[in-house]
Amino acid sequence: MFTFSSANVAITNLPWLQKYRPATFDDIVGNEPSINVLKSVSKNGNIPNFLLSGPPGTGKTSSIVCLANELYGKELAKKAILELNASDERSVGVIRDKVKAFAQTKVTLPLGLQKFVILDEVDSMVDPAQKALRAIMEQYSNTTRFALACNNEDKIDEAIMSRITKLSFTLLSQEEIAKRLLHIINQENINYTPEGLQAIIFTADGDMRQAINNLQSTYSGFGMINEDNVYKVCDVPDPKYIMEMLKRCIRYEVKNVFNAVNKLYGEGYAALDIIQIMMRLMKSASEKDIEEAYYHDYLMEIAKAELVIKSGTDSELQLIGLVASLCDIAKSISRKKNY
């Protein structure tokens, strides 16, 4: 059943994801074009069928919750809104039983409002269930509206896509995540360092849900948000160490680079963990960190290694091969500079 939350309610035993879940559009950060569309809908009350697509933790479900808050209010929502997570309830039977039964239910609503079905992670629904959902959307189009959320819209049935208004959500910027985290830090009176806050933002990689989880986990474990505590809780390689390893590749310090790889493996990090941190660092690297002459070749080589590892060959050998290639690239560029 659909529930409402308020970002201003101090409930100490709730996970911060729930405690600080946006209750109004003003609480949401990022993705302003899509949020502005939903704001417009909340004012005129004419709800189309929506598909909200984008990476996890970017505010898709929270935005729909805020729209429902604006349109229905707490009491009306209990009978007018059905919320399901399609990844847990994805079968044809659930769609035909729960969703169709709700669509058939008679509910007295203000003029211009329809019953509202919220389905999260629709891209995980099996094909027959999506076809059943499309039939229900068509049959009850006069009385029921649907808000669908997904991470990958390519997995959504084309017949459903033709019946919805699509809103795209993108990863949040560092500034947007910092704004929300600072609000929570102030509300919870948390001790933190700027480096610790930046570490939370880095590990989240544009995912607000991950950022808030990491913040609460670090605070619960150590009572202090600093760089070392964040990386211990998140269990990711220290980005400073990885950046230094990349610089050693540029300086062609082959032995030191191989020793660094062995050290990271000895600490229990997988090749994919290390390479993904490399990729994030390359994307955000400044000219001071990585000279432009090395940037594109390094980025291409790291991307190829990540692709190979994700195909199922996650081993130390792949990582050693990568850093050896980076050293060779640096040696080749150095020779060209000297000529």
Q: Give burial (CB, 10 Å; 0-12/13-18/19+) of 339.
A: exposed
How far from each other are the two terminal CA atoms of the chain, in whole angstroms?
A: 71
Question: How long a stretch of residues is the chain?
Answer: 339
What local confidence, expressed as pLDDT, does residue 2 receive? 44
In the chain, at which residue ranges do the beta strands (DSSP E only) sit?
Answer: 50-53, 81-85, 115-120, 144-150, 165-168
- Would you state the torsion angle of the CA atoms of residues 125, 131, 134, 136, taken in this order, to the nearest 10 degrees? -100
Q: What is the CATH number of domain 239-332?
A: 1.20.272.10
Q: What is the CATH number of domain 16-168?
A: 3.40.50.300
| Selection from 238, 215, 211, 237 nearest residue 225 by Cα | 215
What local confidence, expressed as pLDDT, does residue 186 receive? 95
Q: List the chain pLDDT tens, one digit each, 339 residues.
A: 444 444 443 445 789 999 999 988 989 999 999 999 999 998 887 789 999 999 999 999 899 989 988 888 878 888 899 988 755 666 787 788 888 999 999 888 888 889 999 998 888 888 888 999 999 999 999 899 999 999 999 999 999 998 899 999 999 999 999 999 999 999 999 999 999 999 999 999 999 999 999 999 999 999 999 999 999 998 888 899 999 999 999 999 999 999 999 999 888 888 888 999 999 999 888 777 888 889 999 999 999 999 998 887 767 888 999 999 999 999 998 887 776
The residue written with tokens 């229905």 in the block is 72
Q: Give burial (CB, 10 Å; 0-12/13-18/19+) of 246.
A: buried
CATH class, 174-234 region: mainly alpha
Q: pTM of this prediction? A: 0.82
What local confidence, expressed as pLDDT, does residue 90 receive? 62
Report, in angstroms and rounded to the nearest whole number, the Rg of the chain calculated over CA atoms: 24
Can you give the residue ranges of every domain in the chain? 16-168, 174-234, 239-332
